[in-house]
Structure 1
Amino acid sequence: MNRREFVKSTAMTAALAAAARLRAQQTADVTLEIAPLKLEIAPGKTISTLAYNGRVPGPLIRWPEGKAITMDVHNRTDIPEIVHWHGLWIPADQDGAMEEGSPMIAPGGERRYHFTPEPAGTRWYHTHTFAGHDLKRALYSGQFGCFYVEPKQEPGDYDQEVFLTLHDWNAYMGNGGDTSMDASYDYATINDRMLGHGEPIRVKQGQRVLFRIVNASATVTHWLGMAGHRMMVLSLDGNVVPVQKNIEALRLAPAERADVLIEMTRPGVWVLGETRDEVRRSGMGVVVEYAGASGEPQWIAPPEAVWDYAQFAHPQAEAAVPDHVLPLVFTSKFHGHGEFDSWMINGKSYPKTDTIMLEQGKRYRLQMVNKSMDDHPVHLHRHTFEVTSLDGRPMSGLRKDVVVVPGKSTAEIDFVAQNPGATLFHCHQQTHMDFGFMMLLRYS
Structure 2
Amino acid sequence: MTRRSLVRSGLAGAAIAGLAPLPLLGATADLTLEIAPFTAEPTPKHRYKTLAYNGQVPGPLLRMRAGQATTVEVRNRSSREEVVHWHGLFLPSEIDGAMEEGTPMLAPGESRQYTFRPDPAGFRWYHTHTFAGNDLTAGQFSGLHGFLMIDGPRGAQSTAFDREVFLALHDWGGQMLASDDGSMMPSYDVSTINGKALGFGEPVRVKHGERVMLHVLNSSPTEVHWIALAGHSFHVVALDGNTLPTGQQKTVPMLRLAPAERISAIVAMDTTGVWVLGEVRKHVQAAGMGIVLEYEGANGKPKWIQPEELTWSYRQFAGSDESLTVDASEPSEPALPIRLIFSSKFEGHGAPERWTINGKSYPETEEPVLQKDKRYRLILDNQSHDDHPLHLHRHVFEVKSIDGASGLRGIVKDTVLVPAHSVAEVEFLAQHPGRTLFHCHQQDHMDRGFMMVFRYS
TM-score (norm 2): 0.89
Q: Report the 3-state secondary structure (helix = DSSP H, G, I; strand = E; otherwise coil) of the residue aligned with 1:158.
A: coil
Structure 2 unaligned blocks of 5 or more: 1-19, 326-331
Q: 1:223-255 CA distances to partner (integer Å, 9 max, x unpaired)?
A: 000001111100000001230001111000000
Indicate the residue corresponding to 1:359 in structure 2.
Answer: 371
Q: Report the 3-state secondary structure (helix = DSSP H, G, I; strand = E; otherwise coil) of the residue aligned with 1:93.
A: helix
2:217 aligned with 1:227: no
Residue correspondence of structure 1 range 6-45 to structure 2 within 5 A: 24-45=25-46
Distance in 1 (CA, whole Å) between partners of 2:405 and 2:71 is: 44
Task: Give yes or no for contact 1:369–1:410 (8 Å, CA) kept in 2.
Answer: yes
Indicate the residue corresponding to 2:117 in structure 1.
Answer: 116
Match of 1:298 among 295, 303, 313: 303
1:239 alignment partner AA: N
Structure 1 unaligned blocks of 5 or more: 1-16
Indicate the residue corresponding to 1:237 in structure 2.
Answer: 240
Residue correspondence of structure 1 range 255-294 to structure 2 within 5 A: 255-294=260-299
Q: 1:304-356 CA distances to partner (integer Å, 9 max, x unpaired)?
A: 23321011111476685534110111111123374432111111110000001
1:425 alignment partner AA: F
CA apart distance, 1:389: 1.2
Q: 1:35-85 CA distances to partner (integer Å, 9 max, x unpaired)?
A: 111122222332211001111011110011110111111111111110000
Distance in 2 (CA, whole Å) between partners of 1:77 and 1:435 is: 24
Indicate the residue corresponding to 1:427 in structure 2.
Answer: 440
Equivalent residue pairs, number: 422
Task: Give yes or no for contact 1:322–1:414 (8 Å, CA) kept in 2.
Answer: no
Task: Give yes or no for contact 2:382–2:420 (8 Å, CA) kept in 1.
Answer: yes
Higher mean C-alpha deviation, range 108-117 or range 328-337: 328-337
TM-score (norm 1): 0.91
Task: Give yes or no for contact 1:140–1:173 (8 Å, CA) kept in 2.
Answer: no
2:60 alignment partner AA: P
Residue correspondence of structure 1 range 139-150 to structure 2 within 5 A: 139-150=140-151
2:188 alignment partner AA: Y
Q: Report the 3-state secondary structure (helix = DSSP H, G, I; strand = E; otherwise coil) of the residue aligned with 2:244.
A: strand
Distance in 2 (CA, whole Å) between partners of 1:333 and 1:296 is: 49
Task: Give yes or no for contact 1:389–1:413 (8 Å, CA) kept in 2.
Answer: yes
Indicate the residue corresponding to 1:393 in structure 2.
Answer: 406
Indicate the residue corresponding to 1:437 in structure 2.
Answer: 450
Task: Give yes or no for contact 1:121–1:150 (8 Å, CA) kept in 2.
Answer: yes
Task: Give yes or no for contact 1:392–1:410 (8 Å, CA) kept in 2.
Answer: no
Indicate the residue corresponding to 1:206 in structure 2.
Answer: 209
Larger Rg: 1
CA apart distance, 1:133: 1.5
Higher mean C-alpha deviation, range 165-174 or range 390-399: 165-174
Distance in 2 (CA, whole Å) between partners of 1:372 and 1:154 is: 43
1:263 alignment partner AA: A
CA root-mean-square deviation: 1.9
2:306 alignment partner AA: A
Match of 1:181 among 173, 184, 193: 184
CA apart distance, 1:26: 1.2
**Identity among equivalent pairs (%):** 53
Task: Give yes or no for contact 1:64–1:149 (8 Å, CA) kept in 2.
Answer: yes
CA apart distance, 1:392: 5.0
CA apart distance, 1:189: 1.0
